[in-house]
Amino acid sequence: MTMMTPPPLDQQEDEEMLVPHQEFTEGPQPMEVISAEPATAPENQQVEDPPTFKYRWTIENFSRMNTKKLYSDMFFVGGYKWRVLIFPKGNNVDHLSLYLDVADSTTLPYGWSRYAQFSLAVVNQIHGKYTIRKDTQHQFNGRESDWGFTSFMSLSELYDPSRGYLVNDTCVIEAEVGVRKVVDYWSYDSKKETGYVGLKNQGATCYMNSLLQTLYHIPYFRKAVYHMPTTENDMPSGSIPLALQSLFYKLQYSDNSVATKELTKSFGWDTYDSFMQHDVQELNRVLCEKLEDKMKGTVVEGTIQHLFEGHHMNYIECINVDYKSTRKESFYDLQLDVKGCRDVYASFDKYVEVERLEGDNKYQAENHGLQDAKKGVLFIDFPPVLQLQLKRFEYDFMRDTMVKINDRYEFPLQLDLDRDNGRYLSPDADRRVRNLYTLHSVLVHSGGVHGGHYYAFIRPTLSDQWFKFDDERVTKEDAKRALEEQYGGEEELPQTNPGFNNTPFKFTKYSNAYMLVYIRESDKEKIMCNVDEKDIAEHLRVRLKKEQEEKEHKKKEKAEAHLYTIIKVARNEDLAEQIGREIFFDLVDHDKVRSFRIQKQLPFNHFKEEVAKELGIPVQFQRFWLWAKRQNHTYRPNRPLLPQEEAQSVGQLREVSNKAHNAELKLFLEVELGPDLSPLSPPLKTKEDILLFFKLYDPEKEALRFAGRLFVKALGKPTEILPKLIEMAEFPANEEIELYEEIKFEPNVMCEHIDKRISFKSSQLEDGDIICYQKTLTSASRDQFRYPDVPSFLEYVRNRQVVHFRSLEKPKEDDFSLELSKLFTYDDVVERVACHLGLDDPTKIRLTSHNCYSQQPKPQPIKYRGVDHLSDMLAHYNQLPQTSDILYYEILDIPLPELQGLKTLKVAFHHATKEEVAIHSIRLPKNSTVADVINDLKNKVELSRPDAELRLLEVFYHKIYKIFPLGEKIENINDQYWTLRAEEIPEEEKNLGPHDRLIHVYHFTRDPNQNQMQVQNFGEPFFLVIKEGEALADVKLRIQKKLQVPDEEFAKWKIAFISLGRPEYLQDSDVVSNRFQRRDIYGAWEQYLGLEHSDTAPKRAYTTNQNRHTFEKPVKIYN
């Protein structure tokens, strides 16, 4: 799945991008970007299993490397040379950047390409199961000779030694590369090969395509969509029912892949939504809810419920008294556990598993008090179409992130939910209904947790033949590919040297089933009904057939384009209509004039007859001029056609006039009109005659219009034509006028005053030149107008810009708009904004530019006078001509220049005696020290004693990494990823004896499903003083008192000495100080006293390091 637009760099920390490596400057990369696990490229299809090679690269002294990028040694796979490219400090992002590179790309012949499927990994050297591995595939070529992940993993995770990716300052990278032979499938015809067509991918809409194909191939659903009432006046882009009807009709009758843009527009999505990969299950639910709502009050009301709705019963039944509580609930799909379940039946067993409520967890039964009880779920009925969502994504507490579960998970072709005498059914279930299901479709997710590719295996008629619907391409597949190969799990590569006793190489399969659709056998005939044209509304058939005919017509025109020339004819009427309304510079927009499609071999005179017929101007009164693009980028009529040129064919003439070899010929049609406005023969044109065009400017109305055209003599003077110009302007005969020549407007406007006393030739005027004129203004009257003369007006028009301002707090809503000039300075812009907001001090306005790709504010605001002009504020990462018309503003409490000299830190203050944490923003000059932060904080917080001393700590992942020295400058302190914690220094720490030790104490727990050695820290870490020879029993008493834990609870806690993540449990008689070495180890935080107990505390409601403007967009259908 290929995204054809770059995403923003200010994306979420763990969002990954697959990109050809580029060392980019600020902003997104103007390059192709794909999500974390792609599909087979549309033009390529694998034809045999690839030879695979695994390369391991050990990099020592990793944190001390000062090189920006590093290449591995070269290795061979499939006869090709490869190497790994790494950016140890990130490719201008705060993530490790990792790519596969074609090692000899610079010496390969022109047009080379090779196709590889590969994975890149950073090995976890403590626990291999936490190795981070990402895989993709790519067609390497001269333009994209490397490919990989700019945001492979966060640098904070990589450089944290406790995480296991950097051990003894050594990093281990693995690359597994499989080179595939490919066949060119440009000519592949899905309809011809399979009878079905695919859906085009808009960027990241493969998840939607797989779902739409699944729903389309449920004929009863398709028929219901066709029967939703729509009218011929509806527009697909504004009506979900009509857009879906149109899409389904095209899937049914089109010969080529179908676009989904109308449908996503009907959802209210913009382009950016189409480049956001979402969740199939979420889209399925939202779409079905929308359709259910749109079907209300129509002949198909209730279809969604009828097809997909089932019911289950939640119950709690007391064991010792006669009391039972039940609640009936409906479902449209079921979420089944994958982890710990071998197949669908095991998941259903787990779904209905009975939970015992006893001990501390007894049930409060009405009128019976606390009772032992059993709690569970049983199904009242299942729907005709059963949608099973497999929980492939889960939260990993160890890594504090979502992970994908790639475990093997089997699903049957036939699913019997009446098994074991109906063990899944409630007592109220209708046992006459046979709940035997057959598999209809398998939706597959290929990739990792942060991205990937979706496609679907479907049996459209429930026959033995499966089809793979992968965006635009549909292929026939066998049952093994659709079922067994989508179970997930691991797969062994075949032995390369069978004679040797080497261990077979296993790799995890990242492509696996994510959603299953089953159809009940007893409802099969009704669900798999026939859908034909009579089910489709007449207006829809007519509309879509007309669309198809227009498409065919355009296709035919395109195929025959080389036989025709498009002639665009501009006339006086076009100039009068456009100048001052649509255009202000030059004379005409050629895309909005009359065009003729003429066969190239026809003589030009035949075209003149066509013009006579169409425009009513006899051939003898027509004179055509060729246009020319001048060196100053203006486009003007240049010369009339010669008689010998008019005798040529249209094709020959087009080649003479247009060196660019496009299919257009642009002409100006000169027609002279008599006093009665009837056409006359064109006047004789000599070298002395110059054709000039005139525009009239009115400073009072700030309006420009086309006044007409005149032939003048080269040696004549403007004074000779003044009466004619005054007449054309309908001014009084004695009116004084000023003349200006419009010379150019790129890159700047050039419009110069014309001396009326010298000849046109002396003023260097020639055919096609433009003269703008206006009334002469007195010095006094000039002051009345904003733009008193033609040059100032044209300058204004060239640089005017309407800017939409939005409050940074509400970045999606326009607040107000101002018309400004692109030449405005920084001060001009903030003054206008402050004036509009009624703010006296413009320096309290801070502006932020707009990111055109993400449709969000850029991560960094504009510095005070950090740009020269408004045009710089609106430029999109210096990529002209792309600019924005949006700016975000915020009103500061102090002037921006003053704020820029300050550093703001968010500090979490932990009260010494109360269980409360308060977040304080400390704003101080950048050259301040930690001591200044503490002094400022003392004035804001409540201390336990007036003479209490404070310290500032750096806390990360529930560990204390640093106590900041009082003299440390705050300018370099980063509070974006680390929590800054302030606390009072306990008295016992101030009076340490010579043999006392200050140790770290952290809370931890272990996930029973994970490796037993792996610990997960949580809660608030703290320091503790331990005395020499002090036994654990005494230390425990002090810990219990400090944390105020009840005896009953504290008795369950275990205490361990933990070094580098490995716990060693202690007995009450153990001397604690013996475990803590005197010598410094690398990172004092890696040796600590661990308190093992369950994490029952609620998550804190505050976050000190929220990134600006980063959020995940849920699926929304707005209409």
Give the residue numbers annotated as catalytic, written as ranges.
Answer: 206, 453
Work out the angle at residue 57's Cα, subtended by the Cα atoms of residues 52 and 60, and round it to the nearest 5 degrees: 175
Burial class (CB in 10 A: 0-12, 13-18, 19+), 994: exposed
Please give the Cα distance from 297 to 280 (Å, whole number).
28
Q: What is the DSSP string of 168-230?
A: TTBEEEEEEEEEE-EEE-TT--HHHHHS---B---SS-HHHHHHHHHHHTSHHHHHHHHTS--
Give the DSSP letter of residue 721. G
Annotate 51-87 with DSSP letters as a single string: PEEEEEEEESSGGG---S-EE---EEETTEEEEEEEE
The answer to whether residues 793 and 699 touch, using CB atoms and an 8 Å cutoff, is yes
Which ranges constitute the DSSP H helices of 858-982?
A: 870-874, 896-900, 930-938
The one-letter amino acid at 329? E
Give the full edge-to-edge strand order of the sheet including 635-640.
594-599, 564-570, 664-670, 623-629, 635-640
- Among 583, 656, 669, 581, smallest CA distance to 625 is for 669
**Is the preceding peptide bond at 747 cis, omega within 30 degrees of 0?**
yes
User: CA-CA distances (angstroms) from residue 465 to 9, 48, 458, 461?
Assistant: 44, 21, 9, 9
Could you tell me the end-to-end alpha-carbon distance of the chain, in angstroms, rounded to an integer? Answer: 27
Instruction: Please choose, from the candidates 567, 624, 568, 628, the residue with its C-alpha nearest in 3D space to the C-alpha of residue 600.
Output: 567
Dist CA 19 CA 95 (whole Å): 14
The values of phi and psi at residue 449, to 5°, are -75, -25
Cα atoms found within 13 Å of the Cα of residue 393, Cβ hemisphere only: 16
The contacts of residue 442 (CB under 8 Å, 6+ apart) are 411, 456, 457, 458, 482, 483, 486, 513, 515, 516, 517
- Could you give the dihedral angle defined by the CA atoms of residues 911, 998, 1105 and 152, in that order, rounded to the nearest 10 degrees? -160
Q: 515 - beta bridge partners?
A: 389, 443
Other CB atoms within a 10 A radius of the CB of residue 364 amount to 11
Supply φ then ψ for residue 1032, to 5 degrees.
-60, -35
Alpha carbon of 917 to those of 180, 304, 814, 978, 1101: distances in Å? Answer: 57, 49, 37, 16, 10
Give the phi and the psi of residue 368 in degrees, each rounded to 5: -125, -5
Point out which residues pair with 890 in neighbouring strands.
846
Q: Is residue 440 a contact partner of residue 519, using CB atoms and an 8 Å limit?
A: yes
User: For residues 820 and 799, what is the distance between their CA atoms, to the nearest angstrom?
Assistant: 8
Give the residue among 197, 130, 137 at the shortest CA–CA distance from 167: 130
Measured CA to CA, the distance from residue 1021 to residue 438 in angstroms comes to 54
CA distances from 610 to 569, 572, 647, 667, 682 (A): 12, 19, 15, 15, 19
